[in-house]
Amino acid sequence: MYTLIYFSPTGNVFYLAKSLAKYLKPFGVQLLPLEFISLNQLESNEHLVVMYPIHGFNAPRTVKRFIRQIPLGRYKDVSLIGVGSSLHWMNGAASSDLRKLFAKNGYSVIVDEILAMPLTIILSFPDDLAYKLIQESDEKMKSISKSLLERKQTIPCVKGKSLLVNFLGKAESFASKLFGLELHAGKTCNSCGICWNNCPEKNIKCMDNNKPKFGSNCIMCMRCIYSCPEKTITPRFSKFLPIKQGYSLSKYLTKH
């Protein structure tokens, strides 16, 4: 039995998690969103697979906090699948902190893979390139599922320059806190509550006027910005960070 935990702020990771679950279904699989579950909800299964987005060449602190809390002996095996915007060496050390956290809890990682999906920040990929990445990652899920079933260890050889970029990328954690303080909802906000009910870090509070207030615990995942039905959530200064027209994975899928 496999427990597949995914953290998917913009939909990329969830799409691939469903693909992997399809291959593992005959062997039993539990598919759960990381930010909406508690550890006491998790069953003690044979294999835990954590899928996460790569932010600043690292795993988000939401994922690190979750792994830090997993007790010894809950699972026989653990694996990691990171999802970035490329397979470039700069993402090569993205899982290094997660492996260390698992090791502290007495776990040895079996499968450690990185996949590429369309970029969700700053720039929108051309449709053809985005769809190509989606197809390639979807197809790679079959080989990853085989490695999981065979318990075939696939740990990347991390280069020194990847570790350096990983270390420098941790500055994003501080920058994201400032980004959170920049966010505000415009006049067209209809107080639907989607943003504060779905923030993975509980960084958005509903005020007395039924409008959102953004705090300093942001991880810059862009979920609130892209999921806002009125498209009214924007940063005051860092306007170049969110993709101007928003991000929707379904846009690439429906065009092909």
Domain that holds residue 70: 2-167
Which of 40, 215, 16, 243 is CA-nearest to residue 117? Answer: 16
Q: How many domains does the chain have?
A: 2
Last residue of a domain, one of 147, 167, 187: 167
Which of 249, 221, 242, 194 is CA-nearest to residue 17? Answer: 249
The DSSP output letter for 17 is H
Last residue of a domain, one of 167, 183, 203: 167
Same domain, 36 and 162: yes
- Indicate which CATH number applies to the domain containing 248: 3.30.70.20
Report how far residue 225's alpha carbon sits from residue 97's, in angstroms, rounded to the nearest whole number: 28
Report how far residue 51's alpha carbon sits from residue 8's, in angstroms, rounded to the nearest whole number: 8
In tens digits, what is the pLDDT along the chain, a chain of 256 residues? 899 999 999 999 999 999 999 999 999 999 999 998 887 777 777 899 999 999 988 999 999 999 999 988 889 999 999 999 877 777 888 899 999 999 999 999 999 999 999 989 888 888 888 889 999 998 999 999 999 999 988 877 777 878 787 777 777 778 898 999 999 999 999 999 999 999 999 999 999 899 999 999 999 999 999 999 999 999 999 988 888 888 888 888 876 5
Report how far residue 25's alpha carbon sits from residue 159's, in angstroms, rounded to the nearest whole number: 35
Same domain, 41 and 160: yes
**pTM recorded for the entire structure:** 0.92
Same domain, 177 and 159: no
Report how far residue 20's alpha carbon sits from residue 29's, in angstroms, rounded to the nearest whole number: 10
- Indicate which CATH number applies to the domain containing 56: 3.40.50.360
